[in-house]
Amino acid sequence: MAKLSLFERRRRRVRTALKSRAGGKPRLSIHRTGKHIYAQIINDKDGRTVAAASTLGGKASGANVDAATQVGKDIAAAAKKAGVTSVVFDRGGFLFHGRVKALADAAREGGLEF
C-alpha cells in the first residue's frame, strides 16, 4: 500500500468522523484550489448533490477571503431554495482557517446550521 500524503490522511480522518456523527444530515463539502473555491451540499443517502456554489460561475471571482464569503452566502441561499437547513461541515483535508473559515461563517450567517 502506498503511503498517503498528510492531506489525504487528514481528509479520510475528517470524513470518517463525519459519517459517525452525521445522523442522516446532508454534507456541506468544501474544495479549495489556488484560483477557486467550491462548496456543495451532498445527500449521501441518495448520492446526489442538492446544491452547489463556486467562484467559477457565481457572483464572486478569485481565490480570496471575500470570494469565499460570497460563495458561503450563495451556498446558504441555494440550500434554502432546496429545503435544506441543517448540514454537517466537511472541510476535507483543509485546515479550518482563512478561506475555509470565511466560507463556513458566511454559510452560518446565511441560515445554515452546523
- Give the predicted TM-score (pTM) of the model: 0.91
Residue 49 lies in a domain: yes
Note the pLDDT of residue 80.
97
Residue 77 lies in a domain: yes
Instruction: Tally the domains of the chain.
Output: 1
Per-position DSSP letters for the chain, written without gaps between them: -PPPPHHHHHHHHHHHHHHHH-TT--EEEEEE-SS-EEEEEEETTTTEEEEEEETTTSS--SSSHHHHHHHHHHHHHHHHHHT--B-EEE-TTS-SSTHHHHHHHHHHHTT-B-
Q: Domain range for residue 46?
A: 6-109
For the chain (length 114 residues), average pLDDT per consecutive 10? 90 91 92 95 93 87 92 97 96 95 98 95
Residue 114 lies in a domain: no
Note the pLDDT of residue 70.
96
Residue 1 lies in a domain: no
> Which CATH number is 19's domain given?
3.30.420.100
Note the pLDDT of residue 61.
81
